[in-house]
Amino acid sequence: MLKRFYLDTSIWLDFFENRNEPNLPKGKWARALVNKIIKNNYKIVISEAVKNEMLVLGYSRYQIEDMLLPFSKILIEVYSTEKQRGKAKDLSKKRNIPLFDALHTLIARDSKAILITLDNHFQKLTDITKSHKPREFI
């Protein structure tokens, strides 16, 4: 089966902004993972939730589309359903996690994609789907 990955927004930002910290080369890991995905003809599932989160963080729609354009051959674009959005709101409140993180988890699960994140909020959602760190796949 063809591997599908779902990168949470922070992984995309690590990639695009080459965000690295002392002893935590997040940008390097994100780039290595994306390069491996490309090399192996795997796919990346991207949702409007990622794009909307990037909008909230100050990127314009044009900037987002421009940044993602080089990856169009490996991207599978999906849209959250009303049911997923409702469940994400419920999970966000009950588990005290950001709404987008709950939504990313549901979309990754329903897309049968491997969820990639460095965010600890996802540890509260392992009953829905297990999250992985980028370095696990590079």
The model's pTM = 0.94
Encoded tokens for 32: 């290595």
The dihedral through the CA atoms of 47, 57, 72, 115 has a sign that is negative
Residue position matching structure tokens 């002893």: 23
Q: What's the pLDDT tens digit per position in 11-21?
A: 999 999 999 99
User: C-alpha distances in angstroms, 23 versus 26, 50, 59, 100?
Assistant: 9, 26, 27, 27
Q: What's the pLDDT tens digit per position in 111-127?
A: 999 999 999 989 999 99
C-beta of residue 99 within 8 angstroms of C-beta of residue 93: no
Q: How far apart are the first and last CA of the chain?
A: 19
pLDDT at 1: 59
Q: What's the pLDDT tens digit per position in 53-63?
A: 999 999 999 99
Residue 131's Cβ-count burial label (10 Å; 0-12, 13-18, 19+) is: buried
pLDDT beyond 90 at 2: no
The topology (CATH level 3) of 4-137 is Rossmann fold (3.40.50)
Q: What's the pLDDT tens digit per position in 31-76?
A: 999 999 999 999 999 999 999 999 999 999 999 999 999 999 999 9
Per-state percent for the chain, helix, strand, coil, to nearest 5? 55, 15, 30
